[in-house]
Amino acid sequence: MAPAPDKAPAPDEAPAPAPADDGRPVQIFQVSTLYGAATLAASLDAGQFGPRADARRLLLISHNAEIPETALRLETMTGYERLAARFDGVLDWNETIHPYHPATWAPRPEEAPLWQRVLRTAWDLGSVPVELIVESIQVNPAKALAGTFPESSLHVYADGLMSYGPTRNDLAQSIACRIRRVLHLDLVPGLRPLLLSEYGVEPELVPDDAFRAVLAEIAEEAADDPDITRAAAAEPTALLLGQYLAALNLLTAEEEEELHVRMLRGAAAAGHRSVVFKPHPTAPASYSTVLQEEAERTGVRLTVLDGPLLAETFYERCQPRLVVGCFSTAMFTAAVYYGIPVARVGTAEVLERLTPFENSNRIPLTVVDHLIADLEQGEEPAVPGAAPDSLTPLVRAVGYCMRHKSHPGMREETTVYLAAHHADPDIAHHFDTDRLTQLGLPGGTEAPARGGTTPSRLRRGLVRSRRG
């Protein structure tokens, strides 16, 4: 297939193409969201990748939506130009591997040397050393990049609550041994990430002041944005955060809309008469009139902020007194970086329906459910602050049950924790009885057979083998 041009199709003011090989090492920063790009920008500003003059920095954009052609492009979001200016050039992964999808394509091992030559030529890398800075190393496109450049050191950055959970898939040792660190935001002060810890990779914080400064810079770029201006004119006091739960098959589209209605009802009951709804950038393009009808019924002024903007830009410009969500990372940026009280709606229901147990959304749900006030139960919205002593053992126990083979050293502490807490209703709903039974942990219903397999499952396996 033909390689892509040396830069992505982008707006007129996008950075110039990367210059040809000038002998310096190259750092390739792979990104798929503006929030991730902001995290990288803060890390660069804080000097976590050394002086800019020491390496040529290339921003590699990937569009990972199911149908990338119809999704909101990162390059069109407000603030993108400011962030991209920190790099020496912009590349487009989708164009490079067209017609394949970024989530599914990776070179076969025997093709990696050929693909590396293709990319070095297409991107003017020459023969200099390449360093990779990627998100979600356990899946493509990060995994594909790591396989294409098998000699490159790797840095992983995590821009959300998933960093506190275990690595969702096993990594080949040839990749794991090259990972130098996990860069992450301090969204829950005092809680240590589990991500990649089984490989001995250490977490490193992106400084709060650097990230806050980047968010302010993005908001400044939006000073004349008509969507923000329109929203600010409504003098809102609360923001409702949409996610893309239906797209992830966590809820039906109707259930997700009802979740938004429940958020609105909760905000109205708390006394908020002007509310903004912010759909997720990758959520469906339009919703029905259900939310607007509920706003009219309850006497709430509703403004939909569906432009290409981060929720954090709204925080900066409009300074709401409440942010409501299910388990969005933006709830924690509201609290940590802006001091805005937050509340949750629907977390327990999503947690109950989440499958399989090792689904990587489980830890974000656990953290939000444990720390953030339930708006529908009348709990007072608040800024969570530092992690309480109860959070770390809960997260580690859930993490062990999700990926027990990756963390065998956590079994004893998980056993002790569950023995003390499995009957507590505030804790029990974070665990699945079948999973506890399978692992032979307190809270299970029957003793497991050797190797962690329940007798019923063992019998089913024997029947199948006899039939075969």
What does the DSSP assignment read for 248-315?
Answer: TTSS-HHHHHHHHHHHHHHHHHTT--EEEEE--TTS-S---SHHHHHHHHHT-EEEE--SS--HHHHH
What pLDDT was estimated at residue 456? 41
Residue indicated by tokens 């939310």: 291
Please state the φ and ψ torsions of residue 120, each to the nearest 5 degrees.
Answer: -60, -35
Asked whether the beta carbons of 56 and 86 are under 8 A apart, the reply is no
Longest distance between any two alpha carbons in the chain, whole Å: 71
Distance between CA 313 and CA 222 in Å, rounded?
7
Please state, as a whole number, how many other Cβ atoms lie within 10 Å of the Cβ of residue 103: 15
Residue type, 392: T
The third-level CATH classification (topology) of the domain covering 26-211 is Rossmann fold (3.40.50)
Comparing C-alpha atoms, which of 242, 72, 38 is closest to residue 159? Answer: 38
What pLDDT was estimated at residue 372? 98
Measuring CA to CA, how many Å separate 408 from each of 133, 162, 175? 29, 20, 21
Task: List Cβ neighbours of 249 (8 Å cut-off, separation of 6 or more).
Answer: none
What pLDDT was estimated at residue 451? 46
Mean pLDDT, 10 residues at a time, over the chain (468 residues)? Answer: 38 47 91 96 98 97 74 86 97 94 90 96 96 95 96 95 96 96 97 97 98 96 90 95 88 92 97 94 67 95 91 93 97 97 96 94 97 96 96 98 97 98 95 96 74 43 40
- The hierarchical CATH code for the domain 225-377 is 3.40.50
Helix (H) or strand (E) run with residue 133 in it: strand 130-134
What pLDDT was estimated at residue 20? 59
Residues of the chain with CATH 3.40.50: 26-211, 225-377
